Amino acid sequence: MSLYELQIAWPDLPNQKKEYRKAEDLFKSEDVSDMRVSLEAKDVQVNGDNAVVHGIRHEQYLKNEKFEYYGSDLGMQPLGTQRLGPVAVRKKRSVKKTDDVTVHLHRQGSTCVIASIEETGKHH
């Protein structure tokens, strides 16, 4: 998914500056891949063309992390002066997050779009 595709489902996102910046940072991040997001609806309230969904948002993605460490020449054969610099290692770490959220939906024609999403806290 791209930021453009997200705005199709959430047309008012650019006007919600905090949420837009968060989404933009995530989509531009080179450290995040294989993002999966799902919503487990716990309560749905419909009022005309609007609905409010209380639920749990599950996020799962891979985060690329870079580590640096200094090697040692302790087991090496003497070859004169050796200067070992930092060794860079990249590792992908699986990240899973769950948050309680409230999603406000609005009917536009025959489809529903996201009006706003509120994080209501970490899910336990």
The pLDDT score that the predictor gives to residue 34 is 84
The pLDDT score that the predictor gives to residue 2 is 82
CATH number at residue 57: 3.10.450
Q: Is residue 93 part of a domain?
A: yes
Dihedral of alpha carbons 50, 55, 61, 67, sign: positive
For residue range 21-77, list pLDDT tens digits in order. Answer: 988 888 888 888 888 889 999 999 999 999 999 999 998 988 887 767 665 555 555
Q: Is residue 16 part of a domain?
A: no
Average pLDDT over all residues of the chain: 84
Q: Is residue 23 part of a domain?
A: no
The pLDDT score that the predictor gives to residue 15 is 93
Q: Is residue 51 part of a domain?
A: yes
The pLDDT score that the predictor gives to residue 25 is 87
Q: Is residue 101 part of a domain?
A: yes
Q: Which phi-psi region, left, alpha or beta, contains residue 23 (left: φ > 0; alpha: ψ -120 to 50)?
A: alpha
Q: Is residue 27 part of a domain?
A: no
If you average pLDDT over residues 96-116, what whole number do you get?
Answer: 93
What is the number of domains present in the chain? 1
Pairing of strands 86-108, 32-47: unpaired
The pLDDT score that the predictor gives to residue 46 is 95
Note down the domain range covering 59.
Answer: 32-122
Q: Is residue 11 part of a domain?
A: no
Cα(46)–Cα(34) distance, integer angstroms: 33
Contact between residue 35 and residue 6 where contact means Cβ atoms under 8 Å apart: no
Q: Is residue 95 part of a domain?
A: yes
